[in-house]
Structure 1
Amino acid sequence: MQHKEEESREMGVPLDERITGALVGAAVGDALGGPVEGYSPEQIAERHGGRVHGVVGPWHGDAWRTARPLAPYHKGDGHVTDDTLMTHALVRVYATVRDHLDAYAVADHLVPDLMTNPRWIPELEAEAILLRRVFLAEKWLVARLHYGHVDPREAGVGNIVNCGAAMYVAPVGLVNAAHPAAAYAEALDVAGAHQSSYGREAAGVLAAAVAAACAPGATPDSVVAACLSLAKDGTRAAIERVCEEASRHTDFESALRPLREAVAPYDTVGPDYRSPSLGARRPSRLHSIEELPVALGMVVVAGGDFRHAVLGAVNYGRDCDSIATMAGAVTGALGSPVPEDWAKTVAEASRLDLWEPAVTLTGVAREVFERDVRRRRAHERAFAELAGGAPECSD
């Protein structure tokens, strides 16, 4: 085992460290972005006397319990949001199924978990079922699958089209590490229970990005290339345009406004994040969620560096907890170290073991890969027999 680990390190960052980096990195990005979500870069700078450079307190200070529109959620002080809680819930589904997932796994395992298992909810500072914390687009899962008995593969149709599925889909990319096409296909199936149109597409592409980031020798450019090879319609166009603009910057400060301008034609929410346009979040082949292209853009700006990418995502504002979650997952999977002080602060403040889900998912990923190898070899033998030739099984 030690010899294998040494060989793995010679090849680059090993699988377990990439999975840990992605999951812990996503949680840290989520916690840093939470307290400034919904605001513009200018508002964030005014509120904090400059750019945010780490964990900060609630936007309204001690008045967070009653201040609208955020009450009763304690956003800030290192608390993760529903992005992380849903990510960990999906890891638990993998731990149960121990194989690839589909929309039926969401109905059979994720939905009951949302409804029946009380857990510590950091923003509520209480134990509660996760259903109490998630946004309306995630409550849709319960309404459609548990109460409506809709075919899980079609349950996402009619929901608010947003980043709700993409924000927690990183585990799909990690189970399919270094195989972005497989991650894309699996995530589209999983997300079909939750989202449609460009919301579902974003989930597929984010999973592909995480899988591509796990490949030995991966770079921000190779991750973006993998995404562009798979993405469709407005999602592809938005990623291409934003990442093209991002390539002109090496510091997030200069990139904040240009990245927003680049994604604006594809974003349906409009300039005022808290007052969406009448055309917001409707299905369209011409549009994209904002979060995914901007997250990838920040990864490009940062050259794959975790701290730089996440801080860029946080200071971008708008839906910055989800943007930072995605940027943290991709840079963590690339092997960029997550600052230990941030991770420790977030884990303690949120009362969560941020590392246990990574250990669990690493074990599942190895099991699934071994099962995939057996399935592939069985197919190779069967096809070779059908084709009348000697079997040429993969090594």
Structure 2
Amino acid sequence: MAPTTQETGLGERITGALVGAAVGDALGGPVEGYSPEQIAERHGGRVHGIVGPWHGEAWRTARPLAPYHKGDGHVTDDTLMTHALIRVYARVRDHLDAHAIAEHLVPDLMTAPRWIPELEAEALPLHRVFLAEKWLVARLHYGHVDPREAGVGNIVNCGAAMYMAPVGLVNAANPAGAYAEALDVAGAHQSSYGREAAGVLAAAVAAACVPGASPDSVVAACLALAKDGTRTAIERVCEAASRHTDFESALRPLREAVAPYDTVGPDYRAPSLAARRPSRLHAVEELPVALGMLVVAGGDFRHAVLGAVNYGRDCDSTATMAGALAGALGSPVPGEWAKTVAEASRLDLWQPAAVLTEVAREVFARDVGRRRAHEAAFAAIGGPSCSG
């Protein structure tokens, strides 16, 4: 079970969420796209930690993953995008919107070479990110589309949700604020239930930062804000999860619960004809399953992340979300995993957390000033004052 979070401070929560997300990402990467049965066959049982590439030393040429070195503690584009969004917060030092994505995130992806762990080389992040993220550059830089509407037309997936934890952390303990900001930010990238998933993931991370938060309170915050198929999928998956305390027994029930809302279909590598199209009836698979694994694990980081990893399919993103949520709740990230991932990926996993903690404090101070100015103005026109 996760420890009590009553005394876990802002910096610790932000660090736990961001380091936890990166660790989940790295653990899920090498088994992404496969089923629980395939994972168990390949590894002689369930994955219990950091493993090597699916095809061993042939990772450079083996399809469908070549030329990416997934495994051995390498993070994927989930973490690269998360860190890029933190750099945008570090520049703006205030709440973000879709225009900030166009003005700051897109140039970051296009112009600043960085170490890409899966390529084992320095390259532009744009050269690593998936096509759904390249959409940001195509639409905003080359297409000059209104940032608030640029996500329309992109495939509907978890591409925005996977890096939205920083929005929840800047809005720590304010799920409604996180939800609204993430919807605005994600408008540049996603539409429909992909955009909705980004908003709800941010809200979940913010809810996990509330003192005394638990998996159940995080799910309740999500259900209070989520709309359409996303809400129903979360409700169904978490209902199924509540009947399990071990991820092994939960793997099939969670997939069965989310399947009616998932457009990809049973074969992850051969999506259905309706896959990833806008809909008010459907949801991305990764967010409900991450929340479900959090419930199964009782908030424990190791259990939640390993459940997400062994679930398979898009498990690097599912484990990224589960890791962010468990870390924000205060469940410790295993030190040996964090150390291995940081060293293997050649990334400082703690520096972005320190930066975002500073930004979160500054943004809160700005919010307090703005709120007080509003209160004074409202009272001056005959509205009740705070003391009234």
TM range (shorter): over 0.9
2:311 aligned with 1:330: no
Structure 1 residue identity aligned to 2:76:
T
Matched residue count: 385
Contact 2:261–2:284 under 8 Å retained in 1: yes
- Distance (Å, rounded) in 1 between the aligned partners of 2:258 and 2:7: 33
How far does the alpha carbon of each residue in 1:248-282 deviate from its partner, in whole angstroms, 9 at most, with x for none? 00000000000000000000000000000000000
**How many percent identity over aligned positions?**
87
C-alpha distance in structure 1 between counterparts of 2:208 and 2:314, whole Å:
23
C-alpha deviation, 1:392, in angstroms: 1.9
- Asked if 1 retains the 8 angstrom alpha-carbon contact of 2:94 and 2:359, the reply is yes
Distance 2:6 2:34 in 1: 42
CA RMSD of aligned residues (A): 1.1
The answer (yes or no) to whether the contact 1:78–1:345 under 8 Å persists in 2 is yes
Q: Does 1:54 align with 2:57?
A: no
Alpha-carbon contact 1:380-1:393 (below 8 Å) kept: no
Partner of 1:37: 32
| Aligned with residue 306 of structure 2, among 302, 308, 311 | 311
In the superposition, relative to structure 1, how do residues 10 and 40 fare at CA in structure 2: closer, same or farther (>3 Å)? closer
Runs of 5+ in structure 1 lacking a partner? Answer: 1-8
> Retained in 1: the 8 A contact 2:5–2:213?
no
Normalized against structure 1, the TM-score is what?
0.96
Three-state SS of the structure 2 residue aligned to 1:367 is helix
Of 111, 116, 120, the residue aligned with 1:121 is 116
Contact 2:241 2:254 in 1 (8 A): yes
Residue 364, structure 1, aligned to residue 364, structure 2: no
Match of 2:142 in 1: 147
Contact preservation (8 Å) 2:242, 2:295: yes
Q: Is the Cα–Cα contact under 8 Å of residues 377 and 393 in structure 1 kept in the other structure?
A: no
Using the TM superposition, give the Cα deviation of residue 11 of structure 1 relative to its aligned residue in structure 2, in angstroms: 4.2
Distance 1:59 1:392 in 2: 60
* Deviation (angstroms), 1:12: 1.5
Report if the CA contact (8 A) 2:5-2:212 is conserved.
Answer: no
Change in Cα spacing, 1:322 to 1:378, as seen in structure 2 (3 Å) is: same
When normalised by structure 2's length, the TM-score is 0.98
Match of 2:98 among 74, 98, 103: 103
1:392 and 2:386 correspond: yes
Q: Deviations over 1:140-196 (max 9, x none)?
A: 000000000000000000000000000000000000000000000000000000000
- 3-state secondary structure, aligned to 2:118: coil
Q: Distance in 2 between matches of 1:27 and 1:86?
A: 11
Q: CA deviation at 1:388?
A: 5.5
Give the match for residue 382 of structure 1. 377
Q: Equivalent residue of 1:338, what SS?
A: coil
Aligned equivalents of 2:323, 2:229: Cα separation in 1: 23
In structure 2, relative to structure 1, the CA distance for the partners of 1:113 and 1:393 (3 Å cut) is farther
Tell me which residue corresponds to 1:342: 337
Report the equivalent of 2:175.
180
One-letter code aligned to 1:392: C
Q: CA deviation at 1:61?
A: 0.1
Secondary structure of the residue that 2:381 maps to in structure 1? Answer: helix
1:302 equivalent to 2:297? Answer yes
Matched residues in 2 for 1:388 and 1:23: separation?
41
Aligned to 2:107: 112
1:387 alignment partner, SS class: coil
User: Which residue of 2 is the match for residue 271 of structure 1?
Assistant: 266
Partner of 2:234: 239
CA distance in 1, matches of 2:207, 2:20: 16
Match of 1:6 in 2: none
Aligned match of 2:165? 170
1:90-114, Cα deviation, whole Å (9 max, x unpaired): 0000000000000000000000000
Are the aligned partners of 1:220 and 1:300 in contact in 2 as well (CA < 8 Å)? Answer: yes
- In the alignment, is residue 225 of structure 1 matched against residue 220 of structure 2? yes
Note if contact 2:5-2:329 (Cα within 8 Å) is conserved in structure 1: no
Q: Is the 8 A contact 1:121 1:130 kept in 2?
A: yes
CA distance in 2, matches of 1:392, 1:58: 59
- Does the 8 A contact of 2:5 with 2:330 survive in 1? no
1:13 is aligned, of 8, 11, 35, to 8
Matched residues in 2 for 1:339 and 1:196: separation?
35
Letter in 1 for 2:182: A
Q: Specify the code of the residue in structure 1 equivalent to 2:87.
A: R
Q: Is contact 1:381-1:393 (8 Å) kept? A: no
- What CA distance in whole angstroms lies between the structure 2 residues aligned with 1:213 and 1:392? 28
Aligned-partner Cα distance in 1 for 2:111–2:162: 22
Identify the residue that residue 25 of structure 1 maps to in structure 2.
Answer: 20
